Structure 1
Amino acid sequence: MATRDLTIGVIFLIKTLVGILGNFSLLYHYLLLDFTGCKPRPTDLIVKNLTLGNILVLFSVGIHNTMLSFGWYHIRSDFGCKIFPYVHRVGRGVSIGTTCLLSVFQAITVRPRNSRCAALKGKSHPKCIVASIVLCWVLQILVNVLSPLFMTITLNNENITNRKSFGYCSIIRHEKSRDLLCVALLSFPDVLFLGLMLWASSSLVFYLYRHKQRVQHVRRTNISTLTPESTATKTILLLVSTFVYFNTLSFILHTVLGLFDHLSWYLLNTNLVISLCFPVLSPFLLMRFPFLHILASICHFLTC
């Protein structure tokens, strides 16, 4: 076994184990609340769906590539080349879309009653959230179905001069204009979700700042300098910066993989390692900084 394969295998193994621990712990927490009879909040369903998308990425990228790196598994048919990249793309898209939905939902909730988005508050019903989650899954399943159609296994005796190699798998090369169109189609949902999340998070920070200014005169500053608004704002900025940083890197690498014909081993594995970062970190951020509870308490005191 080559040293680089052993190194990347250890990285995949560590990230996968940590990610599975974090996501299953978060999922267990919410399932435990359901079984103990606690009244669920609308955001609980969103977070559960986020962990499900993260778990799909961890299994399709982390476990799969860990076994490949250590030589515990070998792709022997086209099915392996089609199913794992497809599940990875769907899980990644669901994770991004669900994080965006979580931010938009909180932004609408925090809005005052006299704002132009006040009419949307009545639509923040669990049925609307379920419909949004289903739409997210359907969108990702349909958009990413093009990805595995032309992916096949790379045989040792196969001439791959007319194919783009992804290691164990390869795809037929097409014209640059066709590749560009395919990349644009696959990237459009990511760009849309990223834009919506930036708007929602900016709105959250803005209204939390305004609320802090409004209630500042009734608080005794010598008791505590860390207000709920300050805690929520810092948490939102941390979550958004983590989301934007890793998913922007992942978006750039996916674009490069789609446009360039000759892909190095380092580029392919860097893309996979970056793809694991947000699914690994997000559950720990949500458990360490439960800003959903903070925002819920702030919303109770917001007035029109």
Structure 2
Amino acid sequence: MVAVIVSRLKRPMDLRTILEAVSNLLLIAVGIPGNLIVLLVFGYIGCTERKLLPADSIVFMMMFVHLLIILNRGIPQTLFTLNYRGFYDSSTCKFLIYIFRMTRAMSLSLTFLLSAYQSVLIAPATSWLSYLKPKLPTLLLPSFLFLWLLNGVTCIHSILYTSQIQNFTTFKFTLNLSYCIVEYPSEASYFGTGTMTLFRDLFFVFFMVAASSYILFVLYRHRQQVKGIRSSEQNQHTPEMRAAKIVVTFVTLFVVFFGIDNITWIYTLSAHKVPADINNVRVFFSSLYASVAPIVVIASNKKVNSKLQCTKTVKVSQSKTTIVSIA
């Protein structure tokens, strides 16, 4: 099996293909370890402390979804770029494209959920959002189940219309996804599913940006109110500021990357024949968020940092003990 893969990877590639392969490999090299590290850290915290805060649970679910995105889209896309065609039958294509589209939609939904949670958490006591604070832990699991069900149902067309690339004439309304194709039988199904997906994404993006804007507004007003307080007392509010900055960073990255994704998606709806390179660009930017998000968590989350620092300390102490025993 390995010999077959190696022989197929020895085919010559042009500069464009090499750049595409390198970019996909970078996404894999960064995204898989990054998401695994965050998952393992939060899994360890959940086992030792017997619970996770709602925000940590949302981030944990996001990293799990991002790992699935890279595994189900990044790896097959990279293998295809490297001229490997070993396992792209219709059943595999249906599975890969369905999981990718569902997890992509879940990434969007969970980013919205995180921003909504943070906006409720920092809402003033006089705001109507403050009444939701005690209910947040009980609403988390139903929210997860609802989002998985919603995105699973809205992506079911991927199973119906996806197939492997074959050497015969395809339908007029066809999306070329490099190693698989999505063939819509009619113009109504093509524009219907595309419009539904676009409006679903815009719905979550709109409320995500609204929640982030509310967070920034509340923090700005709070900052204005405490300007006369001593700096030592102002430091008590740094956790709120840090959490808000993380959420706003997530939303900003998402809007930029998925904005490019949706712009190319609108283009595919308006064009009759879409080049494979356009879909490759769209896939790259939709997968880029899944690779960058764990870096943001590792760099900014104190819990993750503390656990990683403890691991480093243990390794250093063990190495010193070994040196002393050898001496």
TM-score of the pair, normalised by structure 1: 0.86
Q: Indicate conservation of the 8 Å contact 1:209/1:229, yes or no.
A: no
Write out aligned runs for 1:28-39 (5 A): 28-37=40-49, 39=51
What is the CA-CA distance between 1:79 and the residue it aligns to?
0.9
What is the CA-CA distance between 1:14 and the residue it aligns to?
1.3
When structure 1 is superposed on structure 2, of 73-82 and 113-122 the one drifting more is 73-82
Q: In angstroms, what is the RMSD of aligned CA positions?
A: 2.5
When structure 1 is superposed on structure 2, of 211-220 and 189-198 the one drifting more is 211-220
Report the 3-state secondary structure (helix = DSSP H, G, I; strand = E; otherwise coil) of the residue aligned with 2:128. Answer: coil
Q: Is 1:273 paired with 2:284?
A: yes
Q: Is 1:72 paired with 2:84?
A: yes
Q: Indicate conservation of the 8 Å contact 1:23/1:55, yes or no.
A: yes
Report the 3-state secondary structure (helix = DSSP H, G, I; strand = E; otherwise coil) of the residue aligned with 1:133. Answer: helix
Q: Which residue does the alignment assign to 1:260?
A: 271
Q: Which residue does the alignment assign to 1:184?
A: 195
What letter is aligned with 1:164? Answer: T
Q: Indicate conservation of the 8 Å contact 2:65/2:103, yes or no.
A: yes
Distance across 1 between alignment mates of 2:203 and 2:121:
21
What is the CA-CA distance between 1:99 and the residue it aligns to?
0.9
Write out aligned runs for 1:129-148 (5 A): 129-148=140-159
Give the direction of change, closer, same or farther, for the CA distance of 1:39–1:76 in structure 2 (3 Å limit): closer
What letter is aligned with 2:47? Answer: F
What letter is aligned with 2:20? Answer: I
Q: Which residue does the alignment assign to 1:42?
A: 54
Report the 3-state secondary structure (helix = DSSP H, G, I; strand = E; otherwise coil) of the residue aligned with 1:212. Answer: helix
Q: Which runs of 5+ in 2 are unaligned?
A: 1-11, 305-327
Q: Per-residue displacement from partner, 1:183-205 (whole Å, max 9, x unpaired)?
A: 12122321111111111111111
Q: Which residue does the alignment assign to 1:197?
A: 208
Distance across 2 between alignment mates of 1:257 and 1:289:
37
* Counterpart selection for 1:239 from 230, 250, 259: 250
Q: Which residue does the alignment assign to 1:164?
A: 174
Q: Is 1:151 paired with 2:162?
A: yes
Give the direction of change, closer, same or farther, for the CA distance of 1:43–1:173 in structure 2 (3 Å limit): closer
Q: Which residue does the alignment assign to 2:322?
A: none
Distance across 1 between alignment mates of 2:303 and 2:155:
31
Q: Indicate conservation of the 8 Å contact 2:162/2:180, yes or no.
A: yes
Q: Which residue does the alignment assign to 1:298?
A: none
Q: Which residue does the alignment assign to 2:23?
A: 11
Report the 3-state secondary structure (helix = DSSP H, G, I; strand = E; otherwise coil) of the residue aligned with 2:125. Answer: coil
Give the direction of change, closer, same or farther, for the CA distance of 1:230–1:148 in structure 2 (3 Å limit): same
Give the direction of change, closer, same or farther, for the CA distance of 1:133–1:164 in structure 2 (3 Å limit): same
Give the direction of change, closer, same or farther, for the CA distance of 1:130–1:146 in structure 2 (3 Å limit): same
Report the 3-state secondary structure (helix = DSSP H, G, I; strand = E; otherwise coil) of the residue aligned with 2:231. Answer: coil
Give the direction of change, closer, same or farther, for the CA distance of 1:208–1:289 in structure 2 (3 Å limit): same
Distance across 2 between alignment mates of 1:168 and 1:235:
36
Query: Number of matched residues?
Result: 289
Q: Which runs of 5+ in 1 are unaligned?
A: 294-304
Q: Which is greater in Rg?
A: 2
Distance across 2 between alignment mates of 1:153 and 1:88:
16
Q: Per-residue displacement from partner, 1:250-298 (whole Å, max 9, x unpaired)?
A: 12222333442212132121111111111011111122123899xxxxx
Report the 3-state secondary structure (helix = DSSP H, G, I; strand = E; otherwise coil) of the residue aligned with 2:181. Answer: strand
Q: Indicate conservation of the 8 Å contact 1:77/1:153, yes or no.
A: yes
Q: Indicate conservation of the 8 Å contact 1:111/1:207, yes or no.
A: yes
Report the 3-state secondary structure (helix = DSSP H, G, I; strand = E; otherwise coil) of the residue aligned with 1:202. Answer: helix
Q: Which residue does the alignment assign to 2:127?
A: 115
* Counterpart selection for 2:222 from 205, 211, 214: 211
* Counterpart selection for 2:94 from 82, 86, 108: 82
Report the 3-state secondary structure (helix = DSSP H, G, I; strand = E; otherwise coil) of the residue aligned with 1:170. Answer: strand
Report the 3-state secondary structure (helix = DSSP H, G, I; strand = E; otherwise coil) of the residue aligned with 1:45. Answer: helix
Distance across 2 between alignment mates of 1:77 and 1:39:
42
TM-score of the pair, normalised by structure 2: 0.80
Q: Which residue does the alignment assign to 2:6?
A: none
Give the direction of change, closer, same or farther, for the CA distance of 1:9–1:200 in structure 2 (3 Å limit): same
Report the 3-state secondary structure (helix = DSSP H, G, I; strand = E; otherwise coil) of the residue aligned with 1:257. Answer: helix
What letter is aligned with 1:151? Answer: T
